[in-house]
Amino acid sequence: MSQYTRLASNDDQESVIRTIERWAKRIGKPICGADLIGKYHDTVILDLSYHGSEIYVNANGWDDTDHGYPGVTVNDVHITGPDQFETFKAAALGTA
């Protein structure tokens, strides 16, 4: 477990954070901070830059269809699943 996966409120969210950590390191922009928001602190915000708030991971993991909004966004780009590395990369690097 990393310091960021400890913020997860469930296993789905923890799995997403683990994947995003791996991807961020792979593109040379490791996560440098995190915070929790929401009424029950169920959304994890991850920073790729100092106080950047680039990545939002909601409680239901990759796709939060229960609430009608994306489960994972990177710079306002919806990342739909663990097979979307190229989409993540483009969004994280600002080329999406």
pLDDT tens for residues 66-88?
666 788 999 999 999 999 999 99
* pLDDT averaged over every residue in the chain: 91
CB 54: neighbour CB atoms within 10 A? 20
Q: Domains of the chain: which residue ranges?
A: 5-93
SS3 16: helix
Task: List pLDDT tens digits, range 26-61.
Answer: 999 999 999 999 888 999 999 999 999 999 999 888
Q: 91 vs 63, which has greater pLDDT? A: 91
What's the token pair of residue 14?
């923890």
CB 22: neighbour CB atoms within 10 A? 11
